[in-house]
Structure 1
Amino acid sequence: MPFCRHRCDYCAFATWTDRDALAARYLEACRRHAAALAPGLPPVTSAFVGGGTPSRVDPDALLAVLAELPLVDGAEVTVECNPEDLDDALATTYAAGGVTRASIGVQSTVPHVLAALGRRHPAEAVAPAVSAARRAGLAVSLDLIHGAAGETVDDWRRTVTDVVALAPDHVSAYALTVEAGTPLWDDVARHPSDDDQADKDEVVADLLEAAGYDWYEISSWARPGHRCRHNLLYWTMGDYVALGCAAHGHRDGVRYWHGRTPERYLAAIEGGTDPVAGSERLDPDARALEALQLSLRTRAGVPLSALPVDDREALAGIVEQVGDRLVLTRRGRLLANEVAVRLVAPQPTAP
């Protein structure tokens, strides 16, 4: 859902603040696309509505899109929400329409940090949004970002402590990244420090693990039974279908993506043509290596054979052996890319 009231300073996603007039047509196009795809889909175990700001669009029209999908009983259905949007009425509508999970963009609970990120919601909006989701029976995930200009370690500790007090089911805590074409990119003085972000990664790990959250992916922690099923599809190279502009999909070893703008998506769906703008098929060797690199990000880790013995010894303290797997240590999570470039995919057995 590519519609936003305001574009945050760090955001490089396909979002627009001047396209609201297209929203009704766009949602109908998504519904038509979902209906056309549905007969060829296996049972759908999860759906994730991201953005942009999904909580900004008409909820009934959004639910009509989801209703076209062959969702299994008990499917995980997530909608990303801004805190100021999620009240009792919206949460109840979502729950009645099959949504099971609200992913709320908190980022920080410290006002000057929110301002540095270009976020417009007040910190005080978060607790009422969580309460509304709870009353409607939705699982709650809270998204955080650390590394904004002027954010101290104590500011970050306060944010995480505030979030733990709200007892969400899931927490994603991301290091701020600087993307080309954003106001943040143009303002070098606001770029984050690697050392500062490493310190803050340690803080969030300490506080969440002490509160009973289980780390299961580089930036993700969950209470038992609340790992994000949809995101795990990405890390395990599962199949997922793209709906909407700039969406990406993966089916049968082929990755594909739609055109970036809502106008291009509307033109394709309303004109009866395929919205896919490009695709790629990885060869078996590249696919095997990518599967290892993605799995390395998770608690599942990689097989012992994925790292040569010399590299295992050199990476002591970065990876640890758990059964017949190698898993990143907490320190190793900060250096995951350094490990990933050393991974070796298994060679096919000669016939």
Structure 2
Amino acid sequence: MDPMPSVLPDGEPVPEDGALPASALVGAGERPLGFYLHVPYCATRCGYCDFNTYTATELRSSGGVLASRDNYAGTLAEEVRLARKVLGDDPRPVRTVFVGGGTPTLLAAADLVRMLAAVREEFGLAEDAEVTTEANPESVDPAYLAELRAGGFNRISFGMQSARQHVLKVLDRTHTPGRPEACVAEARAAGFDHVNLDLIYGTPGESDDDWRASLDAALGAGPDHISAYALIVEEGTGLARRIRRGEVPMTDDDAHADRYLIADEMLSAAGFDWYEVSNWSTTEAGRCLHNELYWRGADWWGAGPGAHSHVGGVRWWNVKHPGAYAGALAAGRSPGAGRELLSEEDRRVERILLELRLREGCPVELLKPGGRAAAERAVADGLLEPQAYAGRGRAVLTLRGRLLADAVVRDLVD
């Protein structure tokens, strides 16, 4: 999970120096601080992808040396230095760093290490900081992974998606089946403490047996974390156009539910525990702490084109195009495109939306009378755990509730 929607919302202007309201840092010492570093480059565009990414051809057609990935690490480091100015004497060391994309590993390993070094130099890293990068299986080798590990990365997430070639073809994924599993072994040999594999289920043309084969392959590789996401077909993507033309079928909701149940059964049997609706790990230490910052409403600075940030109830987002992003920083301006100040009600609703997805659930005290009545109905309908609701005052999803999580949330925020 990274904060990179392709369409930016409306909002009020961001000050040229990026300054935050004084209220944003009230109580900051009680909240962890993370950094998301966005790398907006991809070798090719996957048919299902709706993220803010650019291929080399797209950047050439838009013109401008500022959009080049060759000097991107230095440009992003400028935003990290801006963050230090904006956050002032905030003493918090950074608890998590997550490099996402795009395809971060299209950059040289030295560039990713340089970006991390900027965070370390400006803020310092917590002693037990989690430092993750996403990686395309075809864009790394043992030497690349060893350089990342030596540079301070201790967690890596490989985009596997599927073990079936025909499924990968529909997704426009270019890696060879079997390569993600080999990457897990290479990452372990390089000394990575934690390794994740990302899977997608519900691709048009995928069968239950295809999905079981993908899970078998992922489990056989030996990661300590697996993410399994239902394919969402976003408007404007190549896959959406293919479905509209009738070239591939749309997967229905029942198939998505069946695949989720298969995933939970197989992962649980292999010693993985769910801790968020789409995420399983073998140990508590194997959880993605950076994503937990998002789900728990902590503070994070998102650096890079289109990246979103949140500090103390202030949310803002950067300009999308790499050229415009680099141009703003070169001119000494914040690359922020807009921001919003969240009200107490906004923050209450967001806590329910996000925390309900966690195994610990959300506190019942966040619910208004209508939401509490809905929670009681959900308990009766087998969507919320009755013991947690009655004993600890928390709304915790059952397995059936996880299948209907979006509907449950809509009722609880009433």
In the superposition, the TM-score normalised over structure 2's length comes to: 0.80
User: Whole-Å Cα distance in 2 between the matches of residues 206 and 125 of structure 1?
Assistant: 25
Counterpart in the other structure of 2:35:
none
1:1-351 alignment, distance < 5 Å: 1-18=39-56, 19=59, 22-38=68-84, 40=87, 41=90, 42-69=92-119, 70-138=124-192, 139-188=194-243, 189=246, 190=248, 191-224=250-283, 225-305=285-365, 306=367, 307-309=371-373, 311-315=375-379, 316-321=381-386, 322=388, 323-324=391-392, 325-344=394-413
Task: Return 16-25 or 182-191, whichever deviates more.
Answer: 16-25
2:375–2:395 contact (8 Å) kept in structure 1: no
* Residue 314 (structure 1) shift: 4.6
Q: Percent identity?
A: 41
* Residue 9 (structure 1) shift: 0.4
1:168 alignment partner, SS class = coil
Task: Return 328-337 or 232-241, whichever deviates more.
Answer: 328-337
CA separation of 1:251 and 1:304: change in aligned 2, threshold 3 A: closer
CA separation of 1:93 and 1:319: change in aligned 2, threshold 3 A: same
* Residue 185 (structure 1) shift: 1.4
Larger RCO (alpha carbons 8 Å, 6+ apart): 2
2:82–2:334 contact (8 Å) kept in structure 1: no
Q: Deviations over 1:323-342 (max 9, x none)?
A: 32121111111111111112
User: Whole-Å Cα distance in 2 between the matches of residues 212 and 127 of structure 1?
Assistant: 18
Q: Deviations over 1:249-276 (max 9, x none)?
A: 0001011100111011111111111100
Counterpart in the other structure of 1:349:
none
Letter paired with 2:216: T
Letter paired with 1:259: V
User: Whole-Å Cα distance in 2 between the matches of residues 326 and 36 of structure 1?
Assistant: 40
User: Whole-Å Cα distance in 1 between the matches of residues 413 and 146 of structure 2?
Assistant: 49
User: Whole-Å Cα distance in 2 between the matches of residues 219 and 338 of structure 1?
Assistant: 16
Which aligned runs of 4 or more in structure 1 are off by greater than 4 angstroms?
none
2:181–2:217 contact (8 Å) kept in structure 1: no
User: Whole-Å Cα distance in 1 between the matches of residues 83 and 406 of structure 2?
Assistant: 36
User: Whole-Å Cα distance in 1 between the matches of residues 277 and 77 of structure 2?
Assistant: 33
1:25–1:266 contact (8 Å) kept in structure 2: no
Q: Deviations over 1:147-205 (max 9, x none)?
A: 11110000000100111111211111000001121011112243321111110000000
1:73 alignment partner, SS class = strand
2:375–2:384 contact (8 Å) kept in structure 1: no
Unaligned runs of 5+ in 1: 346-351
2:112–2:148 contact (8 Å) kept in structure 1: no
1:144–1:174 contact (8 Å) kept in structure 2: yes
**Over aligned residues, Cα RMSD in angstroms?**
1.5
